[in-house]
Amino acid sequence: MRRALSLALAAALSGCPGEPPGPAIDPLFPVDYASTWTEVRDCRLSVEHTLVHVRVWANPVALGAYERRDAPFPDGSILLKEEFTDSGCTERSGWTVMAREAGFAPTLGDWHWQDVLPDRRVVSDGTVSTCFQCHEDCGVAPDGHDWTCAVP
Ligand code: HEC
């Protein structure tokens, strides 16, 4: 299982011979988020995936709305979910990100979604339907807030 996964990942990382690499998309979060953002949900078993543990980080713009859940997220809010294969949250397997960008997707909460590999390669980007279809359900009170789903 673990070996199959690393082989698939190795194949994805090496790309197909002869194919030019696609345009590189930058992740929506900085490399040093752990020293500049706030951890708003500590290491816990994910409700979304079995056997994945997660931590959630908020940038300074998102922090108040994420902690208090008393107002919508302002433009520029970014939330980052770190995913790990172990229960101590040390072996990172990737990230998912949601960023509120005014005008980006007005009927979908103006959220910009990304799925990012451990080497910071962005594998999904935009109004990703798998992401928003789940979050529009779990991201409502009492468990969620303004499209976010991690319970306090
Ligand atoms: C099947 C439902 C589901 C899908 C699909 C899903 N999520 Fe989530 N997401 C959750 C749940 C539940 C949480 C709460 C943390 C947990 O239990 O993993 C969460 C948490 C998050 C968070 C942390 C902020 C918060 O509290 O919601 C981000 C960021 C996030 N998801 C981004 C994404 C992105 C990007 C995608 C698509 C690549 C995605 N999610 C797909 C259910 C989903």
- Is 77 within 8 Å of 61 (Cβ atoms)? yes
Residues 6+ apart with CB under 8 A from 106: none
How much is the pLDDT for 106? 97
Domain range for 129 is 32-138
Cβ–ligand 1 contact at 78 (below 6 Å): no
**Is 6 domain-assigned?**
no
Q: Cα separation of 152 and 149, whole Å?
A: 9
**Is 16 domain-assigned?**
no
Q: Cα separation of 73 and 92, whole Å?
A: 27
**Is 19 domain-assigned?**
no
Q: CA torsion, points 125, 128, 131, 134, in degrees to nearest 10?
A: 170
Q: Separation of 144 CA from ligand 1 center, angstroms?
A: 11
Number of domains into which the chain is organized? 1
**Is 68 domain-assigned?**
yes
**Is 74 domain-assigned?**
yes
Per-residue model confidence as pLDDT tens for the chain (152 residues): 344 444 444 444 444 455 556 678 999 999 999 999 999 999 999 998 878 999 999 999 999 999 999 999 999 999 999 999 999 999 999 999 999 999 999 999 999 999 999 999 999 999 999 999 999 999 999 999 999 999 99
Cβ–ligand 1 contact at 136 (below 6 Å): no
**Within 13 Å and on the Cβ side, how many CA atoms surround 11?**
6
Q: Whose CA is nearest to atom 14 of ligand 1?
A: 150
How much is the pLDDT for 24? 86
User: Which among 25, 29, 40, 48 is the best mutation to test ligand 1's pocket, defined by most ligand atoms within 8 Å of the CB?
Assistant: 48
Q: What global pTM score does this model have?
A: 0.89
**Is 26 domain-assigned?**
no
**Is 25 domain-assigned?**
no
How much is the pLDDT for 17? 52
How much is the pLDDT for 104? 98
How much is the pLDDT for 97? 98
**Is 15 domain-assigned?**
no
How much is the pLDDT for 23? 72
Q: Cα separation of 137 and 108, whole Å?
A: 12
